[in-house]
């Protein structure tokens, strides 16, 4: 979850915390760089750098966002193998967004059985979009 901060002293302090290994700060810095409404700091390549730092330390939200970046080629060259790797780490750690995203990743392959499994995991956690998508995926499996 991103914290609202002013882009100046607060941001510099956050960067210092991120540089010292604080994974929450790293993910927040990445979120700020990835937010295109913040024209002063918008830089997807820099966001990917910070998501990767946090993801490597086990931050599940950073893992799924990094996986999404690799999947779509945002701020980094698209790499479906790395996308799957990061999404899987997040999903296996129980992150509902990671599970939903991994389900969507498999849906596009298409691997409907894996898609149903991961979307189902997210739906079990109350993820509303997953609940809706699960109905469609189950329908495909029944056809």
DSSP 62-131: HHHHHHHHHHHTSSS---HHHHHHHHHHHHHTT-HHHHHHHHHHHHHTT-HHHHHHHHHHHHHTT-HHHH
Residues 47, 84: one domain?
yes
- Provide the 10 A C-beta neighbour count for residue 27: 26
Task: Give pLDDT, residue 9.
Answer: 72
Q: What is the CATH number of the domain that holds 24?
A: 1.25.40.10
- Put simply, whether the predicted model's pTM sits higher than 0.75 gets the answer yes
Pair (58, 75) in one structural domain: yes
Domain assignment of residue 63, given as a range: 1-93
Same domain, 50 and 89: yes
Confidence (pLDDT) at 138: 87
HSE toward the beta carbon, residue 134, CA cutoff 13 A: 17
How many other C-beta atoms are found inside a 10 Å radius of the C-beta of residue 56?
A: 15
Same-domain pairing of 48 and 76 = yes
Pair 110, 135 in one domain: yes
Domain boundary among 56, 76, 93: 93
Query: Are 106 and 81 members of one domain?
Result: no
| 106/64 same-domain check | no
pLDDT of res. 1: 43
How many domains does the chain contain in total? 2
pLDDT at position 7: 57
Do 80 and 41 fall into the same domain? yes
- Looking at the structure, tell me whether residues 88 and 98 fall in a common domain: no
- In degrees rounded to 5, what are phi and psi of residue 20? -85, 5
Residue 40: predicted pLDDT? 73
Residue 65: name the closest of 128, 1, 129 by CA. 1
For residue 5, what pLDDT is reported?
A: 47
Give the residues of the chain that fall short of pLDDT 70: 1-8, 38-39, 143
Same-domain status, 30 and 76: yes
């Amino acid at each position: 979850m991103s914290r609202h901060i002013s882009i100046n002293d607060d941001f510099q302090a956050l960067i210092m915390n991120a540089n010292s290994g604080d994974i929450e700060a790293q993910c927040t810095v990445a979120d700020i760089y990835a937010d295109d409404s913040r024209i002063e700091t918008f830089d997807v390549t820099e966001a990917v750098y910070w998501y990767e730092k946090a993801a490597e330390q086990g931050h599940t939200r950073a893992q799924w966002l990094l996986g999404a970046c690799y999947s779509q080629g945002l701020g980094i060259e698209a790499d479906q193998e790395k996308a799957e790797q990061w999404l899987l780490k997040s999903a296996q750690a129980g992150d509902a967004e990671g599970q939903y995203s991994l389900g969507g990743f498999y849906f596009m392959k298409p691997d409907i059985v894996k898609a149903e499994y991961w979307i189902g995991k997210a739906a079990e956690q109350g993820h509303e979009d997953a609940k809706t998508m699960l109905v469609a995926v189950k329908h495909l499996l029944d056809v």
